[in-house]
């Protein structure tokens, strides 16, 4: 079975915009059956905010066609848990929401280049793309 990994928005942006070879290598490994990509609708919204709509569609279609991605919808319970996390952790709401979803789906790794905003969460295994 492929290892499920939650991918933060910045890793996908690196892949789409050819900014970092480690993001490219990681996502290519998933196409070769090493990892199964998990993202949330929040990731898609963040990419849309960055005006990467057509690139995002191409990215998602590539991974959907290869059955290598799960796009999880955010629930009201997820949002409540994220708000609760904000009371005791110094991070942004969307980052707390990403953490809640990754934890709920029991992903093996949370992959981001933005380690500092997730260090406050001790119960997820955070990795940079080049560490996998």
Q: Where are the domains of the chain?
A: 3-131
Which has more confidence, 26 or 117? 26
Q: Is the pTM of this model over 0.95?
A: no
* Whether residue 66 has pLDDT greater than 80: no
Is pLDDT at 109 greater than 60 in this prediction?
A: yes
Residues 98, 10 contacting (CB under 8 angstroms): no
Residue with tokens 């789906």: 105
State the pairing for strand pair 69-72/35-40.
parallel
Task: Output the CA–CA distances (angstroms, integers) from residue 86 to 31, 45, 47, 130, in the order listed.
Answer: 35, 20, 23, 28
Q: CA-CA distance, 20 to 81, in Å (whole number)?
A: 32
Please state which of the four CATH numbers 3.40.50.1010, 3.40.50.720, 2.102.10.10, 2.40.220.10 is assigned to the domain occupying 3-131: 3.40.50.1010
pLDDT of residue 58: 80
pLDDT higher for 50 or 108?
Answer: 108
Q: Is 64 a residue whose pLDDT tops 90?
A: no
């Amino acid at each position: 079975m492929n290892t499920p990994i939650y991918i933060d928005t910045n890793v996908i942006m690196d892949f789409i915009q050819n900014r970092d070879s480690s993001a490219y290598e990681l996502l290519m490994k998933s196409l070769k059956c090493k990892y199964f990509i998990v993202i949330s609708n929040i990731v898609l919204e963040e990419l849309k905010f960055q005006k990467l709509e057509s690139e995002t569609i191409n990215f998602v279609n590539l991974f959907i066609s290869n059955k290598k991605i799960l796009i999880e919808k955010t629930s009201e319970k997820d949002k409540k848990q994220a708000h609760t996390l904000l009371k005791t952790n110094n991070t942004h709401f969307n980052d707390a929401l990403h953490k809640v979803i990754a934890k709920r789906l029991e992903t093996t790794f949370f992959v981001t280049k933005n380690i500092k905003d997730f260090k406050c969460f001790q119960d997820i295994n955070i990795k940079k793309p080049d560490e996998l």
